[in-house]
Amino acid sequence: MRPLVATVDLAAIRHNYAQAKRCAPGRRALAVVKADAYGHGAAMVATALAEEADGFAVCCVEEARVVRANAPKARILLLEGCFDEEDWRTAVALNLDVAVQGTEQAERLLMLRSDRQLNVWLKLDSGMHRLGFSAEEIRHWAERLRAAPQVAEVNLISHLACADEQGHELTGQQLDCYVDLQDVAFDQRSFANSAAVLTFAPAHMDWVRPGIMLYGASPFAGMSAAELGLTPAMSLTAQIIALHDVPAGEGVGYGAAWVAQRPSRIATVSCGYADGYPRHAPSGTPVVVRGRRVPLAGRVSMDMLAIDVTDLPEARIGDAVELWGAQLSVDEVAKAAGTIGYELLTKVTARVRREYRS
Ligand SMILES: *Cc1c(COP(=O)(O)O)cnc(C)c1O
């Protein structure tokens, strides 16, 4: 069996969910489990949170099906709404909450023949300019949907573009846009992603939408998950599968891009970019062996990577190598590779075995 596993700590996810609730006291929280729960496995995460979560949010009906199968009674929000006829039928059948992010979706909803009323979340484009209606359009649609027999709750949702940069002026402007709509009656309102859950209480409203924080990673470049009271949920662990003594002057790996500056001991590790480890991680990016940090050496291959264990003479074949996780935050690895924890977590590929602990 290939010695590479993503171990997911479900207790950590429950802890982080509770942390989100503590940050937004009295508010309800949709656990965002899109993209297979940010690579952690949506079925297992939905099961683990089914009791305590107030609800879930997903990107599409395919994801909603997985959550519904494991959380039969939960509120599940389709963040981008329905894309086609089949989606609308599924939304009704699975009793989903649906975002309505544009005129096409709103008009289609009014044509829907359904024996069940849907909770609708009108999406306000408060400044991100990705999805949603202007404030003026929101007024129009709120009134029309309020009168529609297909609709139960008429709710308001918006998304913050810069909440991960504390004090960014756009965040305040986005909130002003919402304040302008305060005379419109909505059943529920939701603005906050993880960054706003953690640092911007004015956006908490009725429902917060924590995503990345549930998995124990930080939405901020300058603040670690540990500082935020979050526990990492995934540890990606490989093994040393070969050890080589490399004379000074010899290259290691593709392109011989790393050259030994001294007689070196190089360990080959059972994880590569086809597993989701970032190919752009430069030499020097840390991994953890026997509780010690050791540096990546040379280019990441498809199935393997090399590390320099010259300063860890006790390293042996079969030693566990943590690429990220409990001992090394995914955010630190992401930063070294020029990306964000979100991308690394969601890109762990299907061939990596997931194991669960609770
Ligand atoms: C992904 C997503 C979230 C969660 O964002 P995080 O930064 O991971 O907390 C919240 N709301 C919407 C609309 C999203 O697409």
Residue-wise pLDDT tens digits, 194-234 = 999 999 999 999 999 999 999 999 999 999 999 999 999 99
Q: What pLDDT shows up at residue 115?
A: 87
For the chain, where do the domains classified as CATH 3.20.20.10 start and end?
A: 10-215
State the chain's mean pLDDT as an integer.
Answer: 97
Quote the ligand 1 centre to 210 CA distance (angstroms). Answer: 7
Query: Is pLDDT above 90 for 52?
Result: yes
Annotated catalytic residue 178: no
Q: d(Cα 223, Cα 199) in Å, to the nearest integer? A: 11
The helix/strand/coil state of 99 is strand
**Percentage with pLDDT > 70 across the chain:** 100
The helix/strand/coil state of 274 is helix
Which residue has its alpha carbon closest to ligand 1 atom 1? 211
Cβ of residue 41 lying under 6 Å from some atom of ligand 1 = no
Which residue type occupies 195? A
Among 3.20.20.10, 1.10.10.10, 3.60.10.10, 3.20.20.70, name the CATH number for the domain at 10-215: 3.20.20.10
Q: What pLDDT shows up at residue 317?
A: 98
Can you say which residues are annotated as belonging to the binding site? 130, 302
Mean pLDDT of the region 187-197: 98
Per-residue pLDDT reduced to its tens digit, 246-274: 999 999 999 999 999 999 999 999 999 99
Confidence of residue 178 (pLDDT cuts 50, 70, 90): confident
Instruction: Kindly report which listed range (57-61, 177-181, 202-206) carries the lowest average pLDDT score.
Output: 177-181
β-strand 55-58 against 75-78: which pairing, if any? Answer: parallel
**Percentage with pLDDT > 90 across the chain:** 98
- The DSSP line for 296-356 is B-S---SS-EEEE-TT-TT--TT-EEEEESSSS-HHHHHHHTTS-HHHHHHT--TTSEEEE
Q: How far apart are the first and last CA of the chain?
A: 23
Atom of ligand 1 minimally distant from the CA of 193? 9
In the Cβ-directed half-sphere of 230, how many Cα atoms lie within 13 Å?
Answer: 32
Annotated catalytic residue 347: no
Query: Is pLDDT above 90 for 240?
Result: yes
Q: d(Cα 195, Cα 20) in Å, to the nearest integer? A: 10
Cβ of residue 159 lying under 6 Å from some atom of ligand 1 = yes
Q: What pLDDT shows up at residue 301?
A: 98
Nearest C-alpha neighbor of 345 from the set 214, 255, 159, 152:
214
Atom of ligand 1 minimally distant from the CA of 38? 8
State the virtual CA torsion across 230, 76, 47, 28 in degrees, nearest 10. Answer: 40
**By the 8 A CB rule, do 255 and 303 touch?**
no
- Kindly report the number of other CB atoms within 10 A of residue 137's CB atom: 16
Cβ of residue 208 lying under 6 Å from some atom of ligand 1 = no
Atom of ligand 1 minimally distant from the CA of 79? 13
Q: What pLDDT shows up at residue 313?
A: 98
User: Thinking of the domain 234-357, which architecture would CATH place it in?
Assistant: Beta Barrel (2.40)
**By the 8 A CB rule, do 130 and 96 touch?**
no
Non-local CB neighbours of 211 within 8 Å, separated by 6+ positions: 32, 34, 38, 57, 193, 194
Cβ of residue 123 lying under 6 Å from some atom of ligand 1 = no
- CB burial of residue 291 (10 Å; 0-12, 13-18, 19+): exposed
Q: d(Cα 279, Cα 260) in Å, to the nearest integer? A: 20
Per-residue pLDDT reduced to its tens digit, 290-333: 999 999 999 999 999 999 999 999 999 999 999 999 999 999 99
Angle at 52 between CA 46 and CA 55, to 5 degrees: 60
For the chain, where do the domains classified as CATH 2.40.37.10 start and end?
A: 234-357
**By the 8 A CB rule, do 346 and 309 touch?**
no
pTM (2 d.p.): 0.97
Q: What pLDDT shows up at residue 179?
A: 85
Which residues sit opposite 305 in a β-bridge? Answer: 269
Q: What pLDDT shows up at residue 18?
A: 98
Nearest C-alpha neighbor of 270 from the set 290, 287, 248, 252:
287
Q: What pLDDT shows up at residue 253?
A: 97
Element (H, E) at 226: none
Q: What pLDDT shows up at residue 77?
A: 98
Mean pLDDT of the region 154-167: 96
Mean pLDDT of the region 36-49: 98
